[in-house]
Structure 1
Amino acid sequence: MPTRSELFDAYALHGRDGTRVRMNFVSSADGAVTLDDRSGALGGETDRALMQVLRTMADVVLVGAGTVRAEGYGGLKVDQADAGWRRARGLDDQPALAVVSGGLHLDPADSVFADAVRKPVIVTTDAAAAADGGRFESVATVLACGDPKVELAAMLDAFARRGWTQVLCEGGPHLFGALLEADLVDEVCVTLAPRFVGGDAGRIVQGAAESDRRFELAGVVTDHEGFVFLRYVAS
């Protein structure tokens, strides 16, 4: 198994100037994004360690509301050693968490808010923020970014104004598709699980029009369980 130090080296960010959107997904060898409706069921020990490494490097972790519900997101937190790594580089101890929800179909009592160590941000439309944003006032900061749907470029500009230039997106597939369609994806980290799932599970990208979007392979890591960790950068 790669050490955490080796993972930090393999996925190092070279400079923090300018916004960079990094995706992180796991997929079975036959392309399934979930097993029993959850992506976490596909992962392994190194995959979980890599998730924490990528979160440690990020200014903000971005996730869609559907993924929050499906994966049971609780309070996002890196451990004490990783918080120290961040502090030594002038970062806040904990990365921010931003949840994209165009219709604000979330419950303020959800664990993603109740267990948060840092007040999350909810990214939504102007209309939803005006109509229902007050319901989340005590648990989250509501960020209005366009109508009739969330304008992702405006969202990234709003993040940059907060100093959040290194964005880690953990899904889901429709949010990945929307970012890809808007040409806002700089890097894709894919964990390829040694599993063949079959069934009707979707792919890691949903909703984007078919197009030949070229990325370059920037790194490959393997582990003792047979997982392959691929790092792609936009060409």
Structure 2
Amino acid sequence: MSSTTRDLPPLHLLRPEVSDVPPEPGEARLAELYRPTPARHLRVNMVSTVDGGAWGDDGVSGSINDAADWRVFRVLRALADVVLVGAGTARAESYGQLNRPRDLAHLSSAPLELALVTRRGLVPPALLDGDRTPWVVTGEAGAASARAAVGDRAVVVPGDVAHVDLAAGLDVLAAAGLRHVLSEGGPHLLGSLLAADLVDELCVTTTPQLAGVGPGRIVAPVGHGHAPAARLHDATLGHLLASDGGTLVARWEIDRQGS
């Protein structure tokens, strides 16, 4: 049976309704849009092409982001207590010691911490080259390697080479005062966080490019073997920003089923 217009939802043309957020020293307007709640909060930030690619032809996300995405990326880091990243992404994207952007240091006075999720406890050498040791979240299979690399910053939680208890890891980070967590992926870590119902907010930048066949999506299967059945999460659009070049920057609030 065909639908009538009474059965169809209204559509809103968002772009003209979005207030301008021009670049400004200190990014006060953009920081206000993304300021996290006082409570514990896990935000994930990812970038994607129009056809869903999570990286470009060089295998890294830096080839698909742009200046609009970079503005939001910097503000999100400036507002976070800790950046949570998977070991594979840390290696592929050449992560090193993190610092808040100097011009946004007024948004938080504490050092920006880094927490690495690794099932085997292996830490890329670049993360150890600095004056601040990263946190390392791992299971029993990676405990010895993690402790050898970072000492008491090894967060050993239940788990093995297939799965790590991320909820327990986040509890340890929160107890250390790291309550506002920004995860920058990668896709496997995002899949694990969603499967564990831990994501409060998902920020997705869509850049006006097509990746074609090859690159994976921003969410990848969890662990080894068969992926678990999909869990649908409801999401509410917090805001949608658009650049003159066509980039869309969306902030989605996730309905956590366990909260």
Tell me which residue corresponds to 2:187: 173
**Counterpart in the other structure of 1:111:** 126
TM-score if structure 2 supplies the norm length?
0.81
Q: Does 1:201 align with 2:201?
A: no
- Distance (whole Å) between structure 2 residues aligned to residue 225 and residue 175 of structure 1: 30
Aligned pair 1:10/2:33, yes or no? Answer: yes
2:158 is the counterpart of 1:146: yes
In the other structure, the counterpart of 1:26 is 47
Aligned to 1:164: 178
Matched residue type, 2:127: V
How far residue 5 of structure 1 moved from its aligned partner, in angstroms, is 2.5
Mapped partners of 1:134, 1:22: distance in 2: 27
| Code of the aligned partner of 2:236 | E
CA RMSD after TM alignment: 1.7
Does the 8 Å CA contact 2:123/2:146 hold for their aligned counterparts? Answer: no
Q: Distance in 2 between matches of 1:113 and 1:44?
A: 29
Q: Counterparts of 1:166 and 1:152 in 2: how far apart (Å)? A: 15
Summarize the Cα distance change of 1:199–1:117 in structure 2 as closer, same or farther, 3 Å threshold: farther
The Cα of 1:117 is off from its aligned counterpart by: 5.0
For 2:115, which of 98, 116, 135 is the aligned residue?
98
Render the CA deviation track for 1:161-211: whole Å, top value 9, x for unaligned. Answer: 111111100001010000100110100000001001102111111115323
TM-score, length basis structure 1: 0.89
C-alpha distance in structure 2 between counterparts of 1:142 and 1:29, whole Å: 38
Q: Cα gap change, 1:137/1:189 in structure 2, threshold over 3 Å: closer, same or farther?
A: closer
Tell me the secondary structure at the aligned position of residue 230 of structure 1.
strand
Q: Is the 8 A contact 2:139 2:157 kept in 1?
A: yes
Does the CA contact (< 8 Å) of 2:133 and 2:150 recur in 1? no
Q: Give the Å deviation of 1:119.
A: 2.1
Aligned residue for 2:108, secondary structure, equals helix
Q: Is the 8 A contact 2:55 2:215 kept in 1?
A: yes
Partner of 1:79: 101
CA separation of 1:6 and 1:224: change in aligned 2, threshold 3 A: farther
SS at match of 1:105: coil
Question: Aligned pair count?
Answer: 223
Percentage of matched positions with identical amino acids = 36
The offset of 1:8, in angstroms, is 0.9
Q: Say if 2:197 is the partner of 1:183.
A: yes
Distance 1:117 1:232 in 2: 35
Q: Which has the larger radius of gyration?
A: 2
Q: CA deviation at 1:80?
A: 2.5
| Cα distance per residue 1:52-92 (max 9 Å; x no partner) | 100111111000000001111122111223223212xxxx1
Q: Please identify runs of 4+ aligned residues in structure 1 that moved more than 3 A.
A: none
Note closer, same or farther for the CA distance 1:226–1:163 as it changes in structure 2 (3 Å cut).
same
